[in-house]
Structure 1
Amino acid sequence: MAKEGYFTSSIDRGLNDSGAIRSLTSFKGRWSGNRGGGGSIILWDTNYFEAIDVISIDYAIGTRGKWKNNNHIVNIVNVYGPHDDDKKKIFWQSLGNIVGSRDEAWVLCGDFIEVRDQSERFNCVFSKYRVRWFNDFILSNDLMDIPLGGRIYTRVSDDGTKFSKLERFLVNEKFYRLWDCLAAVVFERTKSDHCPIILKDEEKNFGPKPFKIFDAWFEDEEFENTVKDSWATSNYNGPGLDCKLMVKLKDLKAKLRAWSKVKFEQLDKEIDLHKSIANSLELKVETTILDDNELNLWKNARKHWIEKEKSKASMIEQKARIQWALNGDENSKFFHSIIRNRYNRSSIRGLNIDGVLNEKPHDIKVEVFNHFKRIFEEPGSMRPSMEGLLYPSISTHYNKSVHIGHPNWSYNITL
Structure 2
Amino acid sequence: MNNYYKGERCLCVEGVLLKNNFNCAFFLFYGAHDRGEKLVVWEELSYVAGLCQSPCCFMGDFNEIVYIEERKGADSLTVAAEEFKNWIQDMQLVDLPLNDRKYTWFRGCSCSWIDRVMVSLEWVEEFPETRLRGGRRGLSDHYPLIIEDTKIRDGPRPFRSLDSWFTHEGFLRMVKEEWKGLGEINFTEKLKALTAPLGRWHKDNFGGMDRKILQLEEDIKKLDDKVSSGVHDGTVEARRKALVTCCERWYVKKEFQWKQMSQSRHAKDIDKNTKYFHQIASARRRNNRIDALMINGRLVRNSARIKIAIKEFYKQLYYQEESPKVGFSDGLVTRISEEESVELEV
Which residue of the other structure, out of 16, 41, 53, is the alignment partner of 1:103?
53
Q: Cα deviation per residue 1:140-194 (whole Å; 9 max; x = unaligned)?
A: 101011111322111111xx31111121111001111111011111122111111
Q: Cα deviation per residue 1:196-253 (whole Å; 9 max; x = unaligned)?
A: 11001011011455786652896699xx9xxxxxxxxxxxxxxxxxxxxx9xx79x96
Kindly state the Cα deviation for residue 125 of structure 1 after the two structures are TM-superposed. Answer: 9.7
Which residue of the other structure, out of 316, 320, 327, is the alignment partner of 1:379?
320
In the alignment, is residue 187 of structure 1 matched against residue 128 of structure 2?
Answer: no
Kindly state the Cα deviation for residue 363 of structure 1 after the two structures are TM-superposed. Answer: 4.6
User: What is the rounded CA distance, in whole Å, between the counterparts of 1:266 and 1:71 in structure 2?
Assistant: 34
User: What is the rounded CA distance, in whole Å, between the counterparts of 2:210 and 2:324 in structure 1?
Assistant: 54
Kindly state the Cα deviation for residue 131 of structure 1 after the two structures are TM-superposed. Answer: 0.9
Give the corresponding residue for 2:98.
148
Give the corresponding residue for 2:109.
161
User: What is the rounded CA distance, in whole Å, between the counterparts of 1:92 and 1:132 in structure 2?
Assistant: 13
Give the corresponding residue for 2:6.
56
Kindly state the Cα deviation for residue 269 of structure 1 after the two structures are TM-superposed. Answer: 0.8
User: What is the rounded CA distance, in whole Å, between the counterparts of 1:132 and 1:144 in structure 2?
Assistant: 17
Which residue of the other structure, out of 44, 57, 68, is the alignment partner of 1:94?
44
Which residue of the other structure, out of 235, 238, 245, is the alignment partner of 1:299?
238
In the alignment, is residue 67 of structure 1 matched against residue 13 of structure 2?
Answer: no
Q: Are residues 302 and 384 of structure 1, via their aligned partners in 2, closer, same or farther at CA, if it must alter by over 3 Å?
A: farther
**Contact 1:62/1:77 (<8 A) preserved:** yes
State the secondary structure of the residue aligned to 2:218: helix
Give the corresponding residue for 2:218.
272
The gaps in structure 1 that reach 5 residues or longer are: 1-50, 225-245, 387-415
Identity %, equivalent residues:
18
User: What is the rounded CA distance, in whole Å, between the counterparts of 1:278 and 1:306 in structure 2?
Assistant: 15
Q: Cα deviation per residue 1:348-407 (whole Å; 9 max; x = unaligned)?
A: 2435535666555445544555566566x3633548699xxxxxxxxxxxxxxxxxxxxx
User: What is the rounded CA distance, in whole Å, between the counterparts of 1:336 and 1:379 in structure 2?
Assistant: 48
Kindly state the Cα deviation for residue 313 of structure 1 after the two structures are TM-superposed. Answer: 2.3
Q: Cα deviation per residue 1:275-307 (whole Å; 9 max; x = unaligned)?
A: 2355356557xx7873xxxx2453244223312
The aligned runs of 1:7-406 (5 Å cut-off) are 51-123=1-73, 128-157=78-107, 160-207=108-155, 214-215=164-165, 262=208, 264-273=210-219, 275-276=220-221, 278-280=223-225, 290=233, 295-321=234-260, 327=269, 329-330=271-272, 332=273, 336-347=275-286, 348-350=288-290, 352-354=293-295, 359-366=301-308, 369=311, 377=318, 379-382=320-323
**Contact 1:115/1:166 (<8 A) preserved:** yes
User: What is the rounded CA distance, in whole Å, between the counterparts of 1:258 and 1:338 in structure 2?
Assistant: 23
**Contact 1:277/1:298 (<8 A) preserved:** no
User: What is the rounded CA distance, in whole Å, between the counterparts of 1:254 and 1:312 in structure 2?
Assistant: 21
**Contact 1:64/1:74 (<8 A) preserved:** yes
- In structure 1, give the amino acid aligned to 2:247: K
Report the structure, 1 or 2, having the larger helix content. 2
Q: Are residues 255 and 283 of structure 1, via their aligned partners in 2, closer, same or farther at CA, if it must alter by over 3 Å?
A: same
User: What is the rounded CA distance, in whole Å, between the counterparts of 2:59 and 2:267 in structure 1?
Assistant: 34
TM-score after normalising by structure 1 = 0.60
Q: Cα deviation per residue 1:41-78 (whole Å; 9 max; x = unaligned)?
A: xxxxxxxxxx1211221111121111111111110111
TM-score after normalising by structure 2 = 0.71
User: What is the rounded CA distance, in whole Å, between the counterparts of 2:214 and 2:11 in structure 1?
Assistant: 43
Higher-Rg structure is 1
Q: Are residues 131 and 70 of structure 1, via their aligned partners in 2, closer, same or farther at CA, if it must alter by over 3 Å?
A: same
State the secondary structure of the residue aligned to 1:174: helix
- In structure 2, give the amino acid aligned to 1:98: V
Q: Are residues 283 and 209 of structure 1, via their aligned partners in 2, closer, same or farther at CA, if it must alter by over 3 Å?
A: same
Greater CA deviation, 304-313 or 52-61? 304-313
Report the structure, 1 or 2, having the larger strand content. 1
**Contact 1:149/1:349 (<8 A) preserved:** no
Q: Which protein, 1 or 2, shows the higher relative CO under an 8 Å CA cutoff with sep ≥ 6?
A: 2
**Contact 2:89/2:270 (<8 A) preserved:** no
The gaps in structure 2 that reach 5 residues or longer are: 175-191, 328-346
Cα root mean square deviation, aligned: 4.4
**Contact 2:167/2:253 (<8 A) preserved:** no
**Contact 1:124/1:163 (<8 A) preserved:** no
